[in-house]
Structure 1
Amino acid sequence: MKFSLRQLSYVRAAARHRSIATAAKQLSISQSSIWAAIDSFESSFSIRLFVRQPSKGLVLTPTGKTLLERIEYLLQQAETLDAELLGISAQVRGELHIGCFAPIAPLTLPSILQGMTVRYPDLRIQVLEGDLPFVNSLLDAGTVDVILSYDLGLPSGVLFEKLGQARPHAIFASDHPLASQDRISLRDLGSEPMILLDLPESRTYFDLLFKIAEMSPNIIYRTGSYETVRSFVSAGLGFSILNLRPQIDHAYTGKQVACVPFAEALPMPSIGVGLRPNDYPSPALKEFVRECRRFFTPERCNRLFVT
């Protein structure tokens, strides 16, 4: 073999920083060691990785750009293998950045992350919540490593693993005349006052349901808060359509709500985890995905989704 992993790591650092001096400082080695690694690699394979431009520093050649992708992948594989040889408890460490659709987070993440924080004390987890476009943009920009969300409006190429089907249902105050129904048709709710969960993508999804039912909803309140929807419903201000059911039937008002499934088959989003294409998942990310799979058991889905 004409190169070493250490040599490749020097080349990668130089490409990332576009500066020999910065790469040497980051690796705590001499600049001459970086130059030697680059010169040795280039001469061994008769190729040019960089063009030295005084105004721009190191600039990758087309060949260099292609090889850098292979070098990145090879070093990631080597680093992961090194971590795996240390054992699972040693490898799940560092940082994990999670994006989550806000209504999903309180119903899922506490249980998913509870065990991880106990088993892996050296793992630091950051959770960012928001509406669907915001969460999708976090993944697309590389701000988070993974998202737990719906498969609505996903960026192109995202690898999405479905873990459950979030069937829509109607929600009423517990004393509403329709609250005791086993099932109800969406078409029967056209005259009922409605509280809309008014979030991007969510709004588009609900509009689709109304078009399928050939109805115009009587929307009297709009809110971007899941719990505000439930509280308004519990106070008898109207019904709503949601896709998730909390473990308790009480809203923040202290009053109860009732969830009633729809009689007709309606489109339903999938809930799952989304990853960027071409990313090599870290051990911490792999463990998070495994925990998500463990969470979404058939029994849990039967409680979380109204069927």
Structure 2
Amino acid sequence: MSEITLRQMQYVVAAVDEGSVTAAAASAHASQAAASMAISQLEKVLGAELFLRAGPRRLVPTPAGLEFVRHARAILERVEEARGAVADSLSELSGALRVGCSHTLSPRLVPGLVAHFADTYPAVDLSFREDDPAALQDEVRHGRLDLGLVYGRQADDDLTRVPLADVVLHAALPEDHRLAHRESVTFADLDGEPAILLSIPPTIERLTETMVAAGIQPRVRWTSSNIETIYSMVSRGLGFSLVNSPPAEGVTFEGNRIVFRPVLGTESINTIVAVLPSGRHLPRRVRAALDHLGRATERRGADTGPRGDEPGDGRTTRWPT
């Protein structure tokens, strides 16, 4: 049987990512003819079609193609890691680092991570994607993201989790709210008041479940997919909201102020986690990202609490190898 080459793997992975041979060839700095021939030769070696030709410019991977790409990505990453192993120090890290982050966690985690790599590892090409937790984890599962950052209660059981920090649920209140002077509140204190919640799934479901479990019936008056809209509505006295990661300063887009108070009884409900493909070797640049994220979240100890495994939440590990 003819040998399968790394170049063929690169073309196939690029074709899946880009959706066409032309775009795959461009991303690999090769001619369209060379990429097309390499993919055809690989299909002959494997004895299976990897793509359905949906048109003159569009490719759709077959189930066999998706399965092959999953393994090909892992092989290509290990080869790149082997090349990087000759470097004498982490300061020589290079290559692509693809990070996914949920919308609500992104302001808290992404800017610092990007700045850290720009300053410390400038040869690493860090890109990030913001999306809902389900979409991000699907990208991690299929190798299109190196790691995803979500809350533990949103994490899927088939992915490996690295806990970064426990989080405490906070109530967002108008500055002149009757509870604003308190150091903390309870759900009983908020019973009967209108709630304004983030509509991005599964956030709203998790929050309403938490309130019901605490013995109150949520009065969800409005929902929004934009947290700044919610904060501005709260500042106008239209209701309260609930957030796991409050900002350092409670100033809205309009310049109004809101306050954030911990909700007692919810201290161990959630954890910020990095999700990774199970059973995969971690490139050094991914380990460097996890190191930074762990340190960054620990520095916000007053907001997050101590690091620790999330109880009753499936596959959780400190450090995959």
1:14 CA drift (Å): 8.2
Instruction: Output the CA distance in 1 between the equivalents of 2:100 and 2:41.
Output: 40
Structure-2 residue corresponding to 1:168: 169
Structure-2 residue corresponding to 1:106: 107
**Secondary structure of the structure 2 residue equivalent to 1:264:** coil
**Secondary structure of the structure 2 residue equivalent to 1:177:** coil
Q: Cα deviation per residue 1:56-100 (whole Å; 9 max; x = unaligned)?
A: 511279xxxxxxx99997886565344222223564212111100
Structure 1-normalised TM-score? 0.74
**Secondary structure of the structure 2 residue equivalent to 1:241:** strand
Instruction: Output the CA distance in 2 between the equivalents of 1:260 and 1:134.
Output: 31
Instruction: Output the CA distance in 1 between the equivalents of 2:71 and 2:254.
Output: 57
Structure 2-normalised TM-score? 0.71
Instruction: Output the CA distance in 2 between the equivalents of 1:262 and 1:88.
Output: 44
Structure-2 residue corresponding to 1:215: 216
Q: Cα deviation per residue 1:39-65 (whole Å; 9 max; x = unaligned)?
A: xxxxxxxxxxxxxx999511279xxxx
Structure-1 residue corresponding to 2:151: 150
Q: Cα deviation per residue 1:195-242 (whole Å; 9 max; x = unaligned)?
A: 111221111211221221222122211111222211111111111111
Structure-1 residue corresponding to 2:44: 57
- For the pair 1:13 / 2:6, whether they are aligned, the reply is yes
**Secondary structure of the structure 2 residue equivalent to 1:233:** helix
CA distance 1:198–1:77, change in 2 (3 Å): closer
Structure-2 residue corresponding to 1:133: 134
Contact 1:160 1:274 in 2 (8 A): yes
1:113 CA drift (Å): 2.2
Equivalent AA in structure 2 for residue 230 of structure 1: Y
1:142 CA drift (Å): 2.0
1:158 CA drift (Å): 0.9
**Secondary structure of the structure 2 residue equivalent to 1:58:** helix
* RMSD (Å), alpha carbons: 3.4
Contact 1:91 1:284 in 2 (8 A): no
Q: Which has the larger radius of gyration?
A: 1
Contact 1:247 1:304 in 2 (8 A): no
Structure-2 residue corresponding to 1:93: 94
Q: What is the 5 A alignment of 1:69-84?
A: 79-84=80-85
- Report the number of matched residues: 261
Structure-2 residue corresponding to 1:64: none
Q: Cα deviation per residue 1:257-285 (whole Å; 9 max; x = unaligned)?
A: 11122232465221021111122222221
Equivalent AA in structure 1 for residue 290 of structure 2: V
What residue ranges of structure 1 are gaps of 5+ in the alignment? 1-7, 29-52, 62-68
